[in-house]
């Protein structure tokens, strides 16, 4: 996933060089951050976008902060102030965890911002810290998704000035060719990005960079970096929760007790491979029934609504924010998980979830998903998203069911066994100290 995305951009007011200022505490308006009662400073978690998996990382990092005795400010764009996670933070009204909604999506004028998505995001992060620092002392910044701006660091330096910071990168792919991963080969682009990455690792204030890609630290170590920040692997986490009785879960979800169900889960966008999966299933009488769960992008929603009636088995669709309890039911109730993603080369939390619940997957052979599933133990791999390829993978899955293949058991020997929330928190806490 060597790209970045955001819900939308807003154009800056032509009479203003930048976004609106944070309200002053003394001007009669309500400051989003109350005055702190101590002078030990805050940890600022900056994430402009709470869609997809991003809100979960913010939640887990904030929990790690509090559990280690730190105070944290969760800074996001005003667009996400009504997100269920943001609302939970506000309702809890904890003195050590506060939500700070700011305008982080307005694009400042200037050709550099019009031409570069990385420059736009760098401006968002710099703006967030500058505005919060007017009323609060921030001693450390955490960027849960530093892919947004990381390539700008070599030329422009840290957006956080002298403030120390730690960060996570999720989808760097420029090094994958060195490890035989299936990703698009772009020799010149990859060479440029690898050089920018190495320079960025020497950015001012960078205390530690984490990656959820286990191959990236090995590549970086092979470059024999000098005067660079540490680059450490942190496993993409999933809480170690117990599944529930499948029939009980099916009853709560309104699913049939005897059908086979294939789960498509998460932020439902074109990159889920849904535009290829639905036509492949059309009129395929022996296909499992689809369960599509997660908030859908508008364009994808229109496609699903158009093609769902063509399926032999009407799909079960939950176009909504999925709570943790509902997530447990979904992975307990369904028989397999779809991971045939399109142009997605990074890690997937859904893969971790399938592993935890012992569910077979139909997975793309591309990127890190294909790398983790390369031995076929977790389910059939697909080399492309052609209808015939998908059909063959589903037939292989059906044979596993018909032959009574044992449910995959999470094993301490598997690399995915490290993907626990406790491990994630302890890794981050060590860098926060």
pLDDT on residue 413: 60
Q: Report the distance separating Cα 355 and Cα 137, nearest Å.
A: 41
Q: Report the distance separating Cα 270 and Cα 187, nearest Å.
A: 26
pLDDT on residue 368: 93
pLDDT on residue 38: 44
| pLDDT, tens digit, 9 for 90 and up, residues 306-338 | 999 999 899 999 999 999 899 999 999 999 999
pLDDT on residue 380: 94
Contact (Cβ atoms closer than 8 angstroms) between residue 6 and residue 48: yes
pLDDT on residue 402: 83
Q: What does pTM read for this prediction?
A: 0.84
Which positions of the chain have pLDDT values less than 70? 1-39, 405-413
Give the list of residues 6+ apart from residue 384 with CB closer than 8 angstroms, or none.
Answer: none
Pairing mode, strands 106-107 and 381-382 = unpaired
pLDDT on residue 28: 32
Q: Domain coordinates of the chain in residue numbers?
A: 10-234, 246-402
Encoded tokens for 266: 């998460």
| pLDDT, tens digit, 9 for 90 and up, residues 60-110 | 999 999 999 999 999 999 999 999 999 999 999 999 999 999 998 888 788
Q: What is the CATH number of domain 10-234?
A: 3.40.50.11930
Encoded tokens for 192: 């440029």
Q: Report the distance separating Cα 189 and Cα 385, nearest Å.
A: 25
Domains 10-234 and 246-402 share a fold: yes
Q: Report the distance separating Cα 300 and Cα 71, nearest Å.
A: 39
CATH architecture entry for 246-402? 3-Layer(aba) Sandwich (3.40)
DSSP 290-302: EEEESPBPHHHHH
The three-point CA angle 126-89-98 to 5° equals 45
Element (H, E) at 253: helix 246-253
Contact (Cβ atoms closer than 8 angstroms) between residue 255 and residue 316: yes
């Amino acid at each position: 996933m060597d790209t970045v995305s955001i819900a939308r951009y807003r154009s800056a007011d032509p009479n203003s060089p930048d976004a609106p200022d944070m309200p002053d505490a003394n001007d009669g308006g309500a400051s989003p951050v109350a005055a702190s009662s101590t002078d030990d400073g805050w940890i600022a978690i900056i994430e402009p976008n709470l869609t997809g998996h991003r809100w979960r990382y913010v939640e887990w990092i904030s929990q790690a902060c509090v559990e280690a005795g730190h105070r944290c400010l969760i800074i996001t764009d005003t667009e996400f102030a009504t997100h269920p996670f943001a609302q939970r933070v506000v309702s809890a009204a904890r003195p050590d965890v506060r939500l700070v909604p700011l305008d982080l999506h307005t694009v400042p004028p200037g050709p550099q911002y019009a031409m570069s998505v990385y420059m736009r995001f760098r401006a968002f992060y710099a703006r967030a810290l500058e505005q919060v620092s007017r009323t609060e002392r921030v001693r450390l910044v955490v960027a849960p998704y530093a892919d947004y701006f990381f390539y700008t660091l070599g030329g422009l330096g840290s957006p956080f000035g002298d403030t120390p910071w730690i960060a996570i990168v999720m989808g760097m792919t420029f090094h994958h060719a060195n490890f035989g991963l299936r990703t698009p080969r772009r020799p010149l682009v990859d060479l440029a990005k690898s050089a920018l990455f190495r320079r960025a690792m020497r950015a001012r204030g960078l205390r530690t960079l984490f990656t959820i890609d286990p191959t990236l630290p090995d590549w970086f170590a092979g470059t024999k970096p000098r005067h660079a920040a540490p680059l450490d692997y942190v496993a993409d986490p999933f809480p170690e929760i117990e599944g529930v009785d499948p029939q009980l879960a099916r009853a709560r979800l309104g699913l049939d007790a005897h059908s086979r169900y294939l789960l498509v889960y998460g932020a439902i966008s074109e990159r889920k491979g849904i535009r290829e999966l639905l036509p492949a299933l059309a009129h395929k009488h022996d296909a499992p029934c689809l369960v599509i769960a997660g908030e859908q992008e508008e364009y994808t929603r229109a496609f699903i609504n158009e093609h769902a009636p063509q399926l032999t088995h009407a799909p079960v669709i939950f176009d909504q924010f999925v709570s943790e309890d509902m997530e447990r039911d979904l992975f307990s109730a369904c028989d397999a998980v779809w991971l045939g993603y399109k142009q997605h080369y990074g890690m997937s939390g859904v893969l971790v979830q399938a592993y935890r619940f012992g569910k077979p997957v139909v997975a793309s052979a591309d990127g890190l998903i294909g790398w983790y599933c390369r031995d076929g133990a977790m389910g059939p791999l697909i080399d492309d998203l052609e209808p015939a390829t998908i059909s063959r993978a589903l037939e292989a899955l059906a044979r596993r069911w018909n032959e009574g293949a044992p449910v995959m058991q999470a094993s301490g020997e598997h690399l995915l066994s490290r993907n626990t929330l406790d491990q994630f928190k302890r890794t981050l806490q060590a860098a926060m100290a």
